[in-house]
Amino acid sequence: MTTATTSQALAAARQWLKPAIHVLLRCGVTWREFAELAKSVYVEVATDRFGKRGRPTNVSRTAVLAGLPRREVRRQRERLADSEPGLSGYVTKASLLLTAWHLDPEFLDKKGKPTLLPLEGEHRSFVALARRCGGGDVRPTTLLKELLSAGAIQHHSDGRLQVLKRHYIPHAMDAELVRLWGTVLADVAMTYDHNLTRGTREAPRFERAALNDRVSAHTVAEFRRFLDQEGQAFLERVDAWLAAHQITPEDTSANVVRLGAGVYHIQG
């Protein structure tokens, strides 16, 4: 067995990060928010998975593993101890502008609602609002195009700009599908994690793929129908097996595990 290098691990991570980052960007997650999340997860995993004799990893060793100062490890552990760990995150210029449009008295009407704004002008304009929000490093026209594209603002009938949303999300995505996206990626990752780190006495978890790099693009629709039929039939047999081995809720003495299999369409 050839031991993987840090560079090889990073190159592999880059592959799965690309589709993950694509979804995060569409949901308005910035690199700073992701970096803060990654820092928290580094501390969480180093603490929970690298201790000795079943105990959590101490602060010093966690700091060494994660490459963080001990003070930062303690800070992250305090956040993780909360029921819902808060992330400091980073507010994008677009989000900051929308928030200011809703809260800054200069850009509100007499009823306290966001007022209509002309594009340009020294005061009470979109350009003035962008400058107020520190948008000097981003051109107002760029912010305008992004916010129009995201459906956060629109052109009013009189030509002025009207704000529609309080938060900037580049592309609306179904909340349930995003939740499932996280669950499915976690399941696949945990299978590989087990197979990569398992002890010699532990059985590997099943992981197989059928893949061909030279299939005619004209067959994609046919393959989709084939997979819908055959994949669904297979999963129904798996579901029947799991149901036959499911214990009753009244049986509190049994050792319970989450068990299953997944089938997914590969195309690139």
In a domain, 81, yes or no: yes
The string of DSSP letters for the chain reads -PPPPHHHHHHHHHHHHHHHHHHHHHTT--HHHHHHHHHHHHHHHHHHHS-STTPPPPHHHHHHHHT--HHHHHHHHHHHHSSS--------HHHHHHHHHHH-GGGB-TTSSBPPB-SS-SSSSHHHHHHHTTGGGS-HHHHHHHHHHTTSEEE-TTS-EEE--SS--SS---HHHHHHHHHHHHHHHHHHHHHHH--TTSPPPP------S---GGGHHHHHHHHHHHHHHHHHHHHHHHHHTPPPTT--SS--------------
In a domain, 85, yes or no: yes
Give the up-direction half-sphere exposure of residue 22: CA atoms within 13 A in the CB hemisphere: 7
In a domain, 231, yes or no: yes
pLDDT value at residue 90: 47
Q: What is the pLDDT of residues 59-118, one digit of tens each?
A: 999 999 999 999 999 999 998 888 554 444 445 788 889 988 998 899 999 888 999 999
How many domains does one find in the chain? 2
pLDDT value at residue 95: 80
User: Domain boundary at 54, 73, 89, which?
Assistant: 89
In a domain, 46, yes or no: yes
pLDDT value at residue 55: 86
pLDDT value at residue 135: 61
Q: Are 168 and 98 in contact (CB under 8 A)?
A: yes
In a domain, 235, yes or no: yes
pLDDT value at residue 180: 85
User: Domain boundary at 89, 112, 128, which?
Assistant: 89
What residues pair up with 108 in beta bridges, in sequence order? 114
Q: How far is CA 127 from the centre of its chain?
A: 32
In a domain, 40, yes or no: yes
In a domain, 209, yes or no: no
pLDDT value at residue 89: 43
Task: State which residues form the domain around 268.
Answer: 216-248+259-268
In a domain, 50, yes or no: yes
Residues of the chain with pLDDT below 50 are 85-90
pLDDT value at residue 177: 84
40: nearest Cα among 1, 5, 66: 66
pLDDT value at residue 88: 44
User: Domain boundary at 69, 89, 109, which?
Assistant: 89
Report the percent of the chain where pLDDT is more than 70.
96
